[in-house]
Amino acid sequence: MANKNNSFLNQLGNGFLKPKGQMADWQHAARTFVDDDFRLAPKVKFLYHVYFDINKTALKNLELNDRHKNEIGILVKSVDLPKFTLKTQTFNQYNRKKVVQTSHDFSPINIQFHDDRANIINTLWQNYYAYYYADSLTAKKAGSYERNAMKNNSYLFGTYGLDNNSSKPFFNEIIIYQLNGRKYSSYTLKKPVISSFGSDNHLSSDTGTASGCTMTVAYEAVTYDIGSISGGAVKGFAQEHYDKSPSPLSPQGGGTATLLGTGGVVQGALEVFGSLAKNDQPGGVFNSLENFVNTTAAAINTYENTKKLTKSGVKQEGQNLLLGGTLAAGLVATTNLKNTFFPTKKNDEKTEATQTDLGGFL
C-alpha cells in the first residue's frame, strides 16, 4: 500500500538512481485515491442501509414492528439522499451587487422498494394510510358511501378523511446510512411524511422484471452523523438474514496453526489484546455480549493454535518470508522494477504461467 509520508524520500532516492524504472505508478490518481488506505477513494452507490423508526402506537399491525421492522430497510431497492434549494435574493447596494440568503427548502426524496411476497411493504403502507385517514376502515361499513349516507334519517356514525385522531407522527425519523470502509455517514430525516405512494403496473408480456413500490417522502429537517459501524451504531444493520458466523480463517472461527499470515497466532494475539485495550469502547471486549464472545473465542483458538506450532513450521515460515523478499529484491535489482510487489511462495504451492492468445498477437 502506498504511503504519501514516504513519497518524498522515495522520489529523492529514485532521483539519484533511475527515476521510475521500467514500470511506475506515479500518476495523480494513484497518489489521490490509493494513499492512506484509500482515504480519498470515491464511495460506491450500492453500500447503503435505510432504517425506519416507526411510532409503535400508530400501528394497527404490531407484527410489522416486532417482527419485520429491520426487514423494511432490507427491501429498499434505491433511495435518494437529501437535496436542498437555498433561496437567495440580489440587492443593489450603492450599485454593488449584494446576494442575501432568504430561506431554504428541502426537496422530497424517493424511496423504491421491492414488492415482496410477504407483503411487508404493502402492510407498511396500509398501516400508514389507516393511521392518518379514516376512509380505509369507514369504506368497509355498509352504506358508508351511499348518496344518503350523511342524511339525518340514515346518518352513519363514521369518520372520513383526516378525522382519525392521529396527532403523533407515524415515522419518528428515517435514517439513510452511506457505508464505506467499516464507517458510515448518516442522513436523518426528521418527522418524515409520505407525500405519494405507488406500486408498479402489471403487464402480461413482462416475464422478468421484479415488481416494486415507490414512496416519496417530505421532511422537516435533516441531521448528519459520521462514525464506525461497530457496536450496533448503524440501526437495524446486519440484524436480519445476516451471516454472523466468523470465517474459519479468522481467530474467532478457529484460525490457523501458523505464526504469521491470516488467522495466525500473531494476528489472533493482536486482535485479543486490541479488544482488551479498548475495554468498554466501541469494538472493546466489554462493549457488547457479541464482542465478549468473539474475543473469548479468539483467545481460546489462538492459545490452541500456539500449542500446535512446531519449530520446523516456524522455521519454514521464516524461510518463505526471507525467500520471497530476496526474490523480489533480486528482481528489482536486475530488472529495475521499482515500487513493485510480487507474490511470494508459500509451502508447496505452485503458480504456473500459461500463454494466452491475445487476439492473434501471440
Is residue 172 a part of any domain in this protein? Answer: yes
Is residue 241 a part of any domain in this protein? Answer: no
Q: Which residue has the cell 464472545?
A: 293
Domain enclosing residue 203, as ranges: 48-232
SS3 60: coil
Is residue 168 a part of any domain in this protein? Answer: yes
- HSE-up of 103 (CA within 13 Å, CB side)? 2
Alpha carbons 246 and 298: distance in angstroms, whole number: 10
**Section 3-26 average pLDDT:** 56
Backbone angles phi, psi at 89, to 5 degrees: -140, 135
Is residue 305 a part of any domain in this protein? Answer: no
**Section 62-82 average pLDDT:** 89
Alpha carbons 341 and 209: distance in angstroms, whole number: 45
pLDDT per residue as tens digits for the range 311-329 = 787 777 777 777 665 555 5
Q: Side by side, which strands form the sheet with 221-228?
A: 48-54, 171-180, 183-190, 221-228
Domain count, the chain: 1
pLDDT per residue as tens digits for the range 37-52 = 788 888 999 999 999 9
Mean pLDDT, the chain, integer = 79
Tell whether the model's pLDDT for residue 302 goes beyond 80.
Answer: yes
Tell me the three cell numbers of residue 251: 481467530
Return the bridge partners of 87, or none: 103
pLDDT for position 360: 43
Evaluate the CA torsion angle 61, 62, 65, 71 in order and state its sign: negative
pLDDT for position 56: 87
Alpha carbons 254 and 235: distance in angstroms, whole number: 29
Alpha carbons 296 and 292: distance in angstroms, whole number: 6
pTM: predicted TM-score of the whole model, two decimal places: 0.68
Alpha carbons 342 and 334: distance in angstroms, whole number: 14
Spell out the long-range contacts of 26-35 with Cβ–Cβ below 8 A and sequence spacing 24 or more: 30/2, 31/2, 31/4, 31/7, 34/1, 34/2, 35/2, 35/3, 35/4
pLDDT for position 290: 74
Instruction: Label the pairing between strands 221-228 and 183-190.
Output: antiparallel
Between 220 and 322, the more confident residue is 220
The amino acid at residue 254 is G
The answer to whether the CB of 294 falls within 8 A of the CB of 252 is: yes
- Gyration radius from the chain CA atoms: 31
The answer to whether the CB of 268 falls within 8 A of the CB of 308 is: no
Alpha carbons 22 and 285: distance in angstroms, whole number: 49
Is residue 17 a part of any domain in this protein? Answer: no
Is residue 308 a part of any domain in this protein? Answer: no
Is residue 100 a part of any domain in this protein? Answer: yes
Between 273 and 234, the more confident residue is 234
pLDDT for position 18: 57
The pLDDT-based confidence of 296 (bands split at 50, 70, 90) is confident
Is residue 345 a part of any domain in this protein? Answer: no
Q: What CATH number is given to the structural domain containing 203?
A: 2.30.110
Alpha carbons 174 and 179: distance in angstroms, whole number: 16
pLDDT per residue as tens digits for the range 151-202 = 665 566 677 788 888 888 999 999 999 999 889 999 999 999 999 999 988 8
